[in-house]
């Protein structure tokens, strides 16, 4: 039910209503938080297979949102950089996500908000511990 409520079952659109595939949005947001990630580091953060991230990165490069450059320390690896257009897209996605979540939290009664947020933290921890 939570999956449908947030729209996570629509992979071509973010839950905040942007026409960007969810995987691409998550990749952009990770790269905005930590510029210069390698493809391997991005795969680990997104909990995706290397081959999936390789295709994802290729698609983001074609869109002009990121650049891939050889890593200076390890010439076998690539570092990923947001382009100016990618930075703008990541900022737009972050703003839309923040507005969506703020709106959702405003619908939770004040007296219950802290408990809801604590329950979400517990759920996230349980997911991480169960290797989903």
Domain ranges of the chain: 2-129
Residue 41 has pLDDT above 80, yes or no: yes
pTM check: above 0.75: yes
Confidence of residue 108 (pLDDT cuts 50, 70, 90): very high
What mean pLDDT is predicted for residues 40-62? 94
Q: Is 48 helix (H, G, I), strand (E, B) or coil?
A: coil
pLDDT for 2 beyond 70? no
Q: Is the pLDDT of residue 56 over 80?
A: yes
At 117, which helix (H) or strand (E)? helix 110-129
Confidence of residue 60 (pLDDT cuts 50, 70, 90): very high
pLDDT band at 12 (very low <50, low <70, confident <90, very high): low
Residue 67 has pLDDT above 90, yes or no: yes
Angle formed by the axes of helices 50-63 and 39-46, to 10°?
A: 110
Predicted confidence at residue 25, as pLDDT, reads 92
Look up residue 17 and give its two tokens.
Answer: 């209503």
Regarding the domain delimited by 2-129, which CATH topology (the fold level of the hierarchy) does it fall under? Arc Repressor Mutant, subunit A (1.10.10)
CA distances from 2 to 6, 39, 72, 114 (A): 6, 30, 43, 19
Share of the chain above pLDDT 70, in %: 89
């Amino acid at each position: 039910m939570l999956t449908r409520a947030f729209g996570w079952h629509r992979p071509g659109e973010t839950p905040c209503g942007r026409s960007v595939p969810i995987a691409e949005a998550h990749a952009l947001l990770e790269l905005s938080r930590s510029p210069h990630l390698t493809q391997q580091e991005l795969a680990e953060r997104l909990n995706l297979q290397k081959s999936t991230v390789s295709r994802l990165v290729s698609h983001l490069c074609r869109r002009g949102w990121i650049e891939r450059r050889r890593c200076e320390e390890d010439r076998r690896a690539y570092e990923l950089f947001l382009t100016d257009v990618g930075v703008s897209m990541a900022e737009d996605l972050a703003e839309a996500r923040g507005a969506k979540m703020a709106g959702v939290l405003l619908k939770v009664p004040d007296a219950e908000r802290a408990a809801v947020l604590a329950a979400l933290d517990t759920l996230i921890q349980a997911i991480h511990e169960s290797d989903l």
